[in-house]
């Protein structure tokens, strides 16, 4: 059940194309960045957060599957494992964000910290040394969890040891808690502190769902490209696709619920430190972007994923999933860029170059990792039972 030679060759082409596109785009981005370094770091942060959401979501869905079991994760597990093994690359790609702190985060301005009573209260937390230490901790948590889960999964393929499934399930419980804490503080550090007076207790959960939605959508899009090849072809069917479509539907609903909940609570609270964040994003041109997201990121996929025929056919389901991957670009842009451009979006070529640069390297790393292990898990007792289970319509 190893990866067929034809897929190995296809993965190799994608890797070469990804690396080439990534290196060229980043080189051009850096060259243009010398003329406008502030814009370079802003665009880079936007692209980094967008692409980081994919391995974050992969790790979360992988642990969720180990906790719950069931055949729904059978065709996706290797995709999530491959995505989770890209964290070392993302840790390396975080370095420019760290180098650009002084151009991204207002709290790095000593004079501003001295003059602002609110920021003085947050000085213990908002300082470059502690910021760096926390970033290291986040990546250690994510890389450590991904390493253990992938290590035991590979051992299970080789040995068939029944205890390994139990170990993966046992670590996934506390692991998903650590993952949630790390992503919460990570988005506070890297995104929320762009506007250091603003705060929201739901913000971390929004980024959790953004990550899960990104990983689920990307996984379904890739699965469609693998579905006509062995061993995937004869191992999954319409009921499993329907289950995955229902999960994508659930994440879409959660995305809308959390965003509306945050808006409702902050707007009703009418607190001067919280309202400006939405005043910027809910009116004017940015308000138009918000309406676009409401319609295209929620209502359209909501109506599509309500239909069972769409979810039971991987071709149509993957179309919806690819659509959601692209809409994630707008979602992250709306969350981050108003911190820099209050009145309206200011699209810049560096935004596109950063997305292509980091994305090319991440996609290449993903397919490199995907080629290292069989496309479907071997000797997992949970799947042996699930494969005999007949799903109802």
The larger pLDDT score, comparing residue 356 to residue 5, is at 356
Q: What is the structure's pLDDT at 2?
A: 62
- Residue 122: count of CB within 10 angstroms of its CB: 16
Q: What is the mean pLDDT of residues 277-287?
A: 93
Q: Which DSSP symbol is given to 200?
A: -
Does 390 map to a domain? no
End-to-end CA distance of the chain: 29
Q: What is the mean pLDDT of residues 29-39?
A: 96
Q: Band of the pLDDT at 105, cuts 50, 70, 90?
A: very high
**Percent of the chain beyond pLDDT 70?**
97
What's the token pair of residue 72?
Answer: 């729904």
Does 392 map to a domain? no
Distance CA 52, CA 359 (A): 10
* DSSP 3-state of 290: helix
Q: What is the structure's pLDDT at 357?
A: 98
Q: What is the mean pLDDT of residues 104-116?
A: 90
Which span out of 28-42, 101-115, 274-288 was modeled with the highest average pLDDT? 28-42
Distance CA 288, CA 292 (A): 6
For residues 80 and 56, the answer to whether their CB atoms sit within 8 Å is: no
Does 128 map to a domain? yes
Residue 390 pLDDT > 80: no
**Percent of the chain beyond pLDDT 90?**
74
Phi, psi of 171 (to 5 degrees): -80, -20
Q: What is the mean pLDDT of residues 51-61?
A: 98
Q: What is the structure's pLDDT at 8?
A: 84
For residues 304 and 297, the answer to whether their CB atoms sit within 8 Å is: no
Q: Exposed, middle or buried: residue 390 (CB in 10 Å: 0-12, 13-18, 19+)?
A: exposed
Q: What contacts 349, CB < 8 A, 6 or more positions away? A: 32
The larger pLDDT score, comparing residue 238 to residue 123, is at 123
Among residues 250, 231, 251, 209, the alpha carbon closest in space to that of 78 is found at: 231
Q: Which DSSP symbol is given to 375?
A: S
Q: What is the mean pLDDT of residues 74-97?
A: 96
Does 391 map to a domain? no
String of DSSP letters for 203-229: HHHHHHHHHHHHHHHHHHHHHHHHTTS
CA angle (313, 319, 324) in 5-degree steps:
125
Residue 381 pLDDT > 80: no
143-157 pLDDT, tens digit each: 999 999 999 999 999
Which stretch of 57-71, 163-177, 258-272 has the lowest confidence by average pLDDT?
A: 258-272
Residue-number span of the structural domain to which 47 is assigned: 5-380
Residue 272 pLDDT > 80: no
Distance CA 130, CA 125 (A): 7
Distance CA 168, CA 166 (A): 5
Per residue in 25-41, is it b (16+ CB within 10 Å) or e — as a string? bbebbbebbeeeeebbb
What's the token pair of residue 140?
Answer: 């250690």
Residue 118 pLDDT > 50: yes
Q: What is the mean pLDDT of residues 288-301?
A: 96
Residue 393 pLDDT > 70: no
Among residues 56, 58, 246, the alpha carbon closest in space to that of 153 is found at: 58
360-380 pLDDT, tens digit each: 999 999 999 999 998 888 888
What's the token pair of residue 19?
Answer: 């690396």
How many separate domains does the chain show? 1
String of DSSP letters for 113-147: HHH-HHHHHTTTTSSHHHHHHHHHHHHHHHHHHHH
What's the token pair of residue 4?
Answer: 């067929």
The larger pLDDT score, comparing residue 51 to residue 381, is at 51
What's the token pair of residue 62?
Answer: 């992988």
Does 386 map to a domain? no
313-369 pLDDT, tens digit each: 989 999 999 999 999 999 999 999 999 999 999 999 999 999 999 999 999 999 999
Q: What is the structure's pLDDT at 378?
A: 85
Does 143 map to a domain? yes
Residues found in the chain: 393
Does 387 map to a domain? no
Q: Band of the pLDDT at 392, cuts 50, 70, 90?
A: very low
Distance CA 70, CA 387 (A): 9
Find the DSSP H helices in 69-127: 77-84, 87-93, 95-99, 101-104, 110-115, 117-121
Q: What is the structure's pLDDT at 194?
A: 96
Q: What is the structure's pLDDT at 388?
A: 45
Q: What is the mean pLDDT of residues 158-185?
A: 94
Average of per-residue pLDDT values in the chain = 92
Q: What is the mean pLDDT of residues 198-212?
A: 94
């Amino acid at each position: 059940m190893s990866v067929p030679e034809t897929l190995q060759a296809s993965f190799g082409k994608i890797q070469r194309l990804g690396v080439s596109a990534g290196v060229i785009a980043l080189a051009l981005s850096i060259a243009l960045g010398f003329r406008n370094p502030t814009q370079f770091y802003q665009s880079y942060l936007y692209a980094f957060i967008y692409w980081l959401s994919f391995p974050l979501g992969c790790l979360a869905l992988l642990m969720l599957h180990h906790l719950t079991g069931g055949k729904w994760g059978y065709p996706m597990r290797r995709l999530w494992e491959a995505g989770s093994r890209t964290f070392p690359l993302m840790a390396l790609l975080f370095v420019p964000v760290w180098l650009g702190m002084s151009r991204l985060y207002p709290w790095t301005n000593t004079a501003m910290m001295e003059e602002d009573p609110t920021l003085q209260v947050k000085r213990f937390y908002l300082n470059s040394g502690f910021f760096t230490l926390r970033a290291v901790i986040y990546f250690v948590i994510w890389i450590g969890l991904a390493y253990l889960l992938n290590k035991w999964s590979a051992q299970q393929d080789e040995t068939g040891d029944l205890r390994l499934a139990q170990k993966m399930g046992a670590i996934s419980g506390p692991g998903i808690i650590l993952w949630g804490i790390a992503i919460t503080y990570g988005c506070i550090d890297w995104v929320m502190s762009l506007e250091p007076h603003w705060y929201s207790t739901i913000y971390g959960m929004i980024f959790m769902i953004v990550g899960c939605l990104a990983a689920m959508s990307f996984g379904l899009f890739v699965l469609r490209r693998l579905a006509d090849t062995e061993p995937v072809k004869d191992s999954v069917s319409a009921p499993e696709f329907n289950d995955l479509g229902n999960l994508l539907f659930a994440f879409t609903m959660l995305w809308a619920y959390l965003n509306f909940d945050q808006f409702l609570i902050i707007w009703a609270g009418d607190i001067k430190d919280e309202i400006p964040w939405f005043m910027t994003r809910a009116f004017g041109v940015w308000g138009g972007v918000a309406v676009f997201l409401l319609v295209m990121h929620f209502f359209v996929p909501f109506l599509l994923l309500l239909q069972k025929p769409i979810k039971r056919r991987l071709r149509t389901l993957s179309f919806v999933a690819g659509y959601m991957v692209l809409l994630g670009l707008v979602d992250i842009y709306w969350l981050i860029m108003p911190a820099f451009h209050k009145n309206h979006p200011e699209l810049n070529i560096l935004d596109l170059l950063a997305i292509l640069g980091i994305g090319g390297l991440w996609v290449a790393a993903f397919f490199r990792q995907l080629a290292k292990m069989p496309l479907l898990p071997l000797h997992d007792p949970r799947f042996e039972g699930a494969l005999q289970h007949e799903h109802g319509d």
